[in-house]
Amino acid sequence: MKAVKTTVAVVVTLLLFFILFAGCIYFVIFNPGYLMSKYRTYDTAGQLSMNEADLRYVTEGLVDYVKGKADSLDMVVSVRGEEALFFNEKDVSHMKDVSDIIIFLRDTMVLAMLAVLLFGFFLIFNKSKKEFRTGVLIADGIIFVLALLTVIAANVNLNWLIVFAHGLVFNNMNWLLDPRYDNLIYLCPEQLFIDAGKTCGVIWIVFLILITVFAIILPRLQFSRPQASRREEK
């Protein structure tokens, strides 16, 4: 039974990190405020010769489309001195693929939350404080190894890592964009992936520390029983 409870604790911890991963992408990265702050740093409006109001309009439309809140990416703005549709057919096709992935992540995140609640009640009911601590530490090790491999790969060959990651989630080559024709590449430059990874990394590290500290001190906590219960026992 101890092994079962430890395994459940590992699963709960990994699910929590998946929820955090999906939440970072859905709520933090695909957020107009976050994206616009990065576009100001990259001078995206200047690169496209468009004003910031139009850039925000396009960014908000893109985020709504990716999250399934908009049906179209047909947005006409002034780009490089000409009024035209911002996204071409290739851009739209790629963002449809991205939207499918983001919506899948969102729905899976909700299911993961329900699973965490279910498994959490199992651990609480079985008073599995020590097993929870062990499970968290094992999950920490798994996450650390995966993160270390990712960091090593990024430092050895970032382009290979980006190509490999895209190959895992896309079954076409629409993600290979050309800055001469595809405006989408200016909204999703390589630097954005790097900065987004750093942002999520900080959030994950903070969460890792908090849940690990909680798991370590949990078995040492002694919760006093209500006075009424004590009198009944006497």
Residues 6+ apart with CB under 8 A from 140: 13, 208, 212
What is the dihedral angle through the alpha carbons of 97, 99, 102, 103, rounded to the nearest 10 degrees?
-120
Taking only the tens place, the pLDDT of each residue in 37-85 is 999 999 999 999 999 999 999 999 999 999 999 999 999 999 999 999 9
Residue 224 pLDDT greater than 90, yes or no: no
Instruction: List the domain boundaries for the chain.
Output: 2-233
Percentage of residues of the chain with pLDDT beyond 70: 94
What torsion, rounded to 10 degrees, do the Cα atoms 70, 71, 72, 77 define?
Answer: -30
Q: Residue 233's pLDDT is what? A: 47
- Provide the whole-model pTM: 0.87
pLDDT tens-digit readout, 143-195: 999 989 998 998 899 888 888 988 899 999 999 999 999 999 999 998 998 89
Q: List, in sequence order, the alpha helices (H) in the chain.
A: 2-23, 32-42, 44-48, 52-66, 89-125, 129-156, 158-169, 184-187, 190-217, 227-233
